[in-house]
Structure 1
Amino acid sequence: MTLPVALAGSDVIGQAKTGTGKTLGFGIPLLQRVVTPTDVEAGRATAVPGKSPQALVVVPTRELCVQVTNDLLGAGKLRAVRVLAVYGGRAYEPQVEALRKGVEVVVGTPGRLLDLAGQGHLDLSQVRMLVLDEADEMLDLGFLPDVEKIVDRLPARRQTMLFSATMPGQIITLARRYMSRPTHIRASAPDDQGATVASVVQHVYRAHAMDKPEMLSRILQAQDRGLVMVFCRTKRTCADLAEGLSERGFAAAAVHGDLGQGAREQALRAFRNGKVDVLVATDVAARGIDVDGVTHVVNYQCPEDEKTYLHRIGRTGRAGAAGVAVTLVDWEDMPRWGLINKALDLSFPEPPETYSTSAHLYADLAIAESATGVLPRADRTRAGLGAEEVEDLGETGKSAGRGRGGRSGGASRSGGRGGRGDARPEASTDEASAEPSRRRAPGSRRRRRLNGDDAAATAVVEAAETVVAEAEAKAGATTEAAAPKRTRSRTRAKSAVSADAGAVVAEAPEAVVGEAAAQSEGEAEGEKAPRRRRRRRRPESSAGSAAESMD
């Protein structure tokens, strides 16, 4: 229904249920209408318009950007159509280099598109076709300012197409500002008039939050269970649940906004390749993600609204396949679920109270009665997330493969800079080993040579320390004016004074040494006594003052 209208160059608002092929609904017209260098060589076109993109596809999430790009590359490889994915979390340089060489179609997220356009790397003046995929999300309050800035950079005469599974009336009204006499196409099967896909069997249970991990562990052991996607509302719940499932023996991975882009793509690749069979994700993976073999979708936490519910359960039962959707509703989420049930006209106004030991849970999902909360070792056949390598994306803002909530990924910044971080510890070690030799004064060497007579040596040491202290005080007074060279002058003064003191002490007779030792002992006792009295008198004086204040 979409292809004839879109190929004619008319504006289109396309609405269809999840898993019905909307990507190629706008992808084939884009690939058919762009002009490539191959067309010029084959004589189908006179000249290529230039290196600037001719078509622009704007998507809300990075994961959907990668998926749409791969679909367009696969469909346009016979015509050698150059398609570039532009999204955040990757380095700028490869994207800028690809834009300089020239591309026909750009698929990107709003933030990175605006960054490249603002820096002058992305020229949008030659775009003749604009597509907003998941249009209701793109035109929502969060993305609307960015979408308006992108549309302002495009030519006034262009073809605009909007596609989504859910298209509220206010979104259609808002979208008409950017379109010229659009054709609204709503496609559905004759025997599938409901809001949800008929091939998806839905189960809704009222569950307790502390029993949900046990329930999920048993649901994951259902008969004929393939790949499973588990959706959570918060990033912390997503990360904790994935870690808990891994401890129970399941091959699980997490995808949420706090992970680095390398870790997010690693988890999705492992899930597509079958190394991981349980993908725990937030709503960042609820839009447009198409993975073959997803048989079950579990809403671990109740969705925010009916649109989120439709997109979540739409990850299974795609392209006519069958699927199972399980929703676990907490007691406090019952009012929210009541609104979703009424909006979608479902048959679950009062979900049954269910626990991990409830008989109807085992019967509804074909779970073996011997299933427990831990996966048996004989069934642990998946390679796991660690078997999938982390791609070095040159991420900006986060270390590769690791975000605030993730531990998957490569080395840290200090160790991944080509040895620059390793040179500084070695230099500091050399400085530490050389420091004592630089600070060692001549007096200390003389001190070791005078160790024969203990009494004389002690007297010499005390006399030398007295002379050094006086010399340091004089040196500090003379070098106080030279602030930038204060450390070096004091060090030189110490060394010179220590050398002079050592020489004087070495040449002094025993009588002088004894007198100096006695004098130093007397001075030391005279200096220490007042200090002791002051320490003892402080609490007395404070106590006296306190008593006076009380009087």
Structure 2
Amino acid sequence: MTLPVALSGSDVIGQAKTGTGKTLGFGLPLLDRVTVPADVEAGRAAPEKLTDAPQALIVVPTRELCQQVTNDLLTAGKARNVRVLAIYGGRAYEPQVEALKKGVDVVVGTPGRLLDLAGQRKLDLSHIRVLVLDEADEMLDLGFLPDVERIITMLPPKRQTMLFSATMPGAVISLARRYMSQPTHINATSPDDEGTTVKNTAQFVYRAHSMDKPEMVSRILQAEGRGLAMIFCRTKRTAADIAEQLEKRGFASGAVHGDLGQGAREQALRAFRNGKVDVLVCTDVAARGIDVEGVTHVINYQSPEDEKTYLHRIGRTGRAGAKGTAITLVDWDDIPRWQLINKVLDLKFPDPPETYSTSPHLYEELGIPAGTKGVLPRAERTRAGLRAEEIEDLGETGGRGRRSAPSAPAPREERAPRTPRQRRRTRGGSSLDESAVAVPAPADGATGEDAPETRTPRRRRRTRAAAPEAVAEAAVTVVETPAAEPAPAPVAEAEPAAEAEPAAEAKPRRRRTRPAATKPAVAQTPAAEPVVDFQTVAVAAQAAEPVATKPRRRTRVVKPADEVDFQIAPASEPAPQTKARRTRAAAKPKAEAVAAPATAEDAAETKPRRRRPRAAAEKTVTAAVTLTSDGEAAPAKPRRRRSRAAAAAETTEG
């Protein structure tokens, strides 16, 4: 019915059931409209009509369907030597670009890669005479519609447009008329075939539990007369899981879903066509247009989304007049969805019977032998399996999901035995030999006979409690160390305590500044050294050194690295500005010590401000020095914060 209308050059909307030959329905008129060198030689066309640019374009929704349509057109156009090229994603760009440069007559592609090459000006669409949208309802869906519209804008306005699909809703037909000129709608049906499904396909619907479905599928696959089988799942993860479970049960299974790389998808489909794999678990990417000879069973592991998906799924069997079996397993949650599908398609399964893997009616209706279990017997495992089909390196872009692609193990070549890598033990980032050289001999006189023969034992430092004299000398050494020098020596390796007394006599003015000076020393002490109690150090140092006289306190003050020296300044010079916060506590006792000769009246005039204690402390030092030099006196007035400062001074002296 389609061939006369399409050969005349009119626009066509073709609708027919699955498996009735729609590919050749648009393929033969399309091949006839293409001009090839054989037509020029036979005198059927003028030489100026020859071109290397594509003359016909077929847009399909999936990569698998793109490859199948390409193979069918190559077979049909072999006598006229028509050049057909498949353009789809997942493959390298370079081979496709090179083929376009050599010249192509018909291009079959998916929307994404077609737009990529057309945007790069590698694909010239200005000579297209025929446009075909295969599976038109899917191509004009909301997902593909923007891309299809962009492709149509690149085509010449004067062309022939044909749409073909098994399902053609009214909304799609009204949308398609925007891009067509007076189309002819052809709906091919058979007189003795009622309904929307194929009469040769026997349909069974069961209500099954999700945890029992793998066992049910395993027993259904052992039914009598089963050939190739396709199992459809709703999600990619479910498809991968079912394929793995069936493989463990002994079935030769493969998977086709979106998470696999293109090479793995083609490998599984090629092994299914060649018979190496007899069970193909897939998502809806393989539900449209896939034509494999010998498919006897189609199992809907999960309920389809709508009636169109159901028709395309079960249409993979019962093709070209053959008989097939379609089995649908509906979960309890999917009963409302299935009832809608049943009503639209006018089926006879509104309430599917509750069925389990041990139900007797399951064995009777599907022809499963009695006593069949969920594991395929070893005697029946005759298929080569998916790994027997070599995976093709397509130069895939992106590499999405390559890890999940099962591939055949590569043959091992004879190689020289590999020398195992020698591991060298390291200690502290250095090798064993270096550590043996760097570690000195033990101090307790141990000889090499006590150590193992293979390596030198590591020296362990003993951390005993140090003597009070050594601790006192270590404290003095820490105070005298400048900031620029390295960290002081460990306490455990201090020199004899006899040298501590001369050092203490040389620096008698350390009792007041030791608590402030010990803080940086603690920060510089290595973590491996024992912690020193500085109160004990102070007591030991006080017992070891003589008591310094009071007049010498004004003439000599030990200044640590982080402290500021507070000395008596002349009356005309202000006190130095102190910025470090840690010097406040030390500044208060020094200021009070300098201002001690002044009377109570002088202290009243220099009362510090509440909110600026640092500036007040500096002002107190300056005022006290000036009054002391001049010898003046002021009326007595109690000081506000004197008790707190006195308490701080007593704490520091203690």
Alpha-carbon distance in structure 1 between the residues aligned to 2:361 and 2:369: 12
Alpha-carbon distance in structure 1 between the residues aligned to 2:323 and 2:44: 43
CA shift, 1:370, in A, is: 1.9
Map 1:336-485 → 2, pairs under 5 A: 336-398=337-399, 402=402, 406-409=404-407
Q: Deviations over 1:69-91 (max 9, x none)?
A: 00001111111111000000000
Contact preservation (8 Å) 1:262, 1:409: no
Q: Is 1:237 equivalent to 2:238 in the alignment?
A: yes
What's the counterpart of residue 167 of structure 2? 166
CA shift, 1:410, in A, is: 8.0
What's the counterpart of residue 529 of structure 1? 531
Note closer, same or farther for the CA distance 1:477–1:242 as it changes in structure 2 (3 Å cut). Answer: farther
Aligned letter for 2:23? T
Aligned letter for 1:17? K
Aligned letter for 1:408? P
Note closer, same or farther for the CA distance 1:7–1:358 as it changes in structure 2 (3 Å cut). Answer: same
CA shift, 1:407, in A, is: 3.6
Match of 1:383, SS?
A: coil
CA shift, 1:532, in A, is: 10
Aligned letter for 2:158? R
Note closer, same or farther for the CA distance 1:258–1:528 as it changes in structure 2 (3 Å cut). Answer: same
What's the counterpart of residue 59 of structure 1? 60
Structure 1 length normalisation: TM-score?
0.77
Contact preservation (8 Å) 2:86, 2:109: yes
Contact preservation (8 Å) 1:249, 1:377: yes
Alpha-carbon distance in structure 2 between the residues aligned to 1:219 and 1:525: 72
Note closer, same or farther for the CA distance 1:525–1:188 as it changes in structure 2 (3 Å cut). Answer: closer
CA shift, 1:451, in A, is: 8.8
What's the counterpart of residue 35 of structure 1? 35
Match of 1:371, SS?
A: coil
Alpha-carbon distance in structure 2 between the residues aligned to 1:181 and 1:19: 27
CA shift, 1:52, in A, is: 1.1
What's the counterpart of residue 314 of structure 2? 313
What's the counterpart of residue 18 of structure 2? 18
Contact preservation (8 Å) 2:390, 2:408: no
Alpha-carbon distance in structure 2 between the residues aligned to 1:184 and 1:371: 50
What's the counterpart of residue 330 of structure 1? 331
What's the counterpart of residue 178 of structure 1? 179
Map 1:129-144 → 2, pairs under 5 A: 129-144=130-145
CA shift, 1:42, in A, is: 4.2
Aligned letter for 2:531? A
Contact preservation (8 Å) 2:60, 2:109: yes
Structure 2: give runs of 5+ residues left out of the alignment.
411-420, 448-459, 462-482, 486-491, 501-524, 537-654
Contact preservation (8 Å) 2:387, 2:407: no
Contact preservation (8 Å) 2:389, 2:408: no
Alpha-carbon distance in structure 1 between the residues aligned to 2:527 and 2:389: 74
Note closer, same or farther for the CA distance 1:6–1:532 as it changes in structure 2 (3 Å cut). Answer: farther
Query: What value does the CA root-mean-square deviation take over the aligned residues?
Result: 3.6
Alpha-carbon distance in structure 2 between the residues aligned to 1:526 and 1:27: 85
Aligned letter for 2:2? T
Alpha-carbon distance in structure 2 between the residues aligned to 1:19 and 1:524: 84
Alpha-carbon distance in structure 1 between the residues aligned to 2:378 and 2:114: 47
Work out the number of aligned pairs and report it: 464
What's the counterpart of residue 201 of structure 2? 200
Match of 2:320, SS?
A: helix
Alpha-carbon distance in structure 2 between the residues aligned to 1:367 and 1:55: 49
Aligned letter for 1:38? A
CA shift, 1:47, in A, is: 3.4
Match of 2:48, SS?
A: coil
Structure 2 length normalisation: TM-score?
0.65
Alpha-carbon distance in structure 2 between the residues aligned to 1:61 and 1:526: 68
Alpha-carbon distance in structure 2 between the residues aligned to 1:525 and 1:97: 69
Q: Deviations over 1:311-331 (max 9, x none)?
A: 000000000100000011111
Note closer, same or farther for the CA distance 1:531–1:174 as it changes in structure 2 (3 Å cut). Answer: farther
Alpha-carbon distance in structure 2 between the residues aligned to 1:372 and 1:271: 24
Alpha-carbon distance in structure 1 between the residues aligned to 2:386 and 2:326: 24
Aligned letter for 1:139? L
CA shift, 1:164, in A, is: 0.1
Aligned letter for 1:6? A
Alpha-carbon distance in structure 2 between the residues aligned to 1:134 and 1:19: 13
Map 1:68-87 → 2, pairs under 5 A: 68-87=69-88
CA shift, 1:38, in A, is: 3.3
Q: Deviations over 1:12-38 (max 9, x none)?
A: 000000000000000001111101233
CA shift, 1:344, in A, is: 0.4
Note closer, same or farther for the CA distance 1:532–1:300 as it changes in structure 2 (3 Å cut). Answer: farther
Contact preservation (8 Å) 2:249, 2:375: yes
Q: Deviations over 1:411-448 (max 9, x none)?
A: 99xxxxxxxxxxxxx9xx99x9xx969x979xx96877
Aligned letter for 1:160? T
Aligned letter for 1:321? A
Contact preservation (8 Å) 1:40, 1:47: no
Alpha-carbon distance in structure 2 between the residues aligned to 1:124 and 1:15: 27
What's the counterpart of residue 483 of structure 1? none
Aligned letter for 1:241? I
Aligned letter for 1:78? A
Note closer, same or farther for the CA distance 1:477–1:232 as it changes in structure 2 (3 Å cut). Answer: farther
Alpha-carbon distance in structure 2 between the residues aligned to 1:210 and 1:28: 48
Structure 1: give runs of 5+ residues left out of the alignment.
413-425, 463-475, 479-515, 535-551
Alpha-carbon distance in structure 2 between the residues aligned to 1:267 and 1:188: 34
Alpha-carbon distance in structure 2 between the residues aligned to 1:43 and 1:9: 21
What's the counterpart of residue 418 of structure 1? none
What's the counterpart of residue 609 of structure 2? none
Alpha-carbon distance in structure 2 between the residues aligned to 1:203 and 1:185: 31
Q: Is 1:9 equivalent to 2:4 in the alignment?
A: no
Contact preservation (8 Å) 1:316, 1:323: yes
Aligned letter for 1:11? D
CA shift, 1:454, in A, is: 5.4
Alpha-carbon distance in structure 1 between the residues aligned to 2:175 and 2:399: 36
Aligned letter for 2:149? E
Note closer, same or farther for the CA distance 1:196–1:533 as it changes in structure 2 (3 Å cut). Answer: farther
Match of 1:47, SS?
A: helix
Note closer, same or farther for the CA distance 1:123–1:531 as it changes in structure 2 (3 Å cut). Answer: farther
Match of 2:91, SS?
A: coil
CA shift, 1:210, in A, is: 1.0
CA shift, 1:39, in A, is: 2.8
Map 1:283-298 → 2, pairs under 5 A: 283-298=284-299
Aligned letter for 1:2? T
Query: What percent identity do the matched residue pairs reach?
Result: 71
Alpha-carbon distance in structure 2 between the residues aligned to 1:301 and 1:147: 30
Note closer, same or farther for the CA distance 1:447–1:398 as it changes in structure 2 (3 Å cut). Answer: closer
Match of 2:532, SS?
A: helix
Contact preservation (8 Å) 2:387, 2:408: no
Instruction: Report which of the two has the higher share of helix.
Output: 1
Aligned letter for 1:528? P
CA shift, 1:528, in A, is: 3.0
Q: Which structure carries more relative contact order (alpha carbon 8 Å, separation 6+)?
A: 1
Alpha-carbon distance in structure 2 between the residues aligned to 1:446 and 1:310: 81
Aligned letter for 1:530? V
Note closer, same or farther for the CA distance 1:477–1:161 as it changes in structure 2 (3 Å cut). Answer: farther
Contact preservation (8 Å) 1:37, 1:48: no
